Structure 1
Amino acid sequence: PLAVRRLKKGADRDVSVSGPTLAARAIAAGLVVEAHLFMTSSVVGGGKRFFPYGVRLDLELVEHRSFPDSGLLYAYYRTA
């Protein structure tokens, strides 16, 4: 998270973070201000957590779209 914090501080644009390990640490450190989530019609349990256990992240829905032919959902949130 320290490296992400430094990168965010020095960036003149948005910094994108993905992957469960780095994203979970950035969320836990309070560095996430937006979340762009893509959800499919299949869910498989297991693997690494994207959202860290015990951390609450209140979100405000900004935009959403559905793609009925594929079952894909897109949701754009800002932290509240």
Structure 2
Amino acid sequence: MDWTEIITAGIAAAGAVAGSALMQSKTTAVLKERLDALRKDVEVLSRRVDKHNGVQERVLLAECKIEELEKELEK
């Protein structure tokens, strides 16, 4: 083995490590973007569920009030 083979192997190894690190960085960035988008979707859905729950509670109260009024009218 002479020095040129060792140097060539060293340069190839350094290139492989650098390329791997770069791809890992890009993959992490893509996953972070997807995670942020999912968080936004969850926030939107959470607001919709809260709004729905508020409507459901109001309808329940309205039904109870209607029943009370119907009972008063029957008297």
Using structure 1 for the length normalisation, give the TM-score: 0.15
Q: Based on CA coordinates, which of the two structures has the bigger radius of gyration?
A: 2
- The higher relative CO (CA closer than 8 Å, separation ≥ 6) is in 1
More strand by share: 1
Using structure 2 for the length normalisation, give the TM-score: 0.15
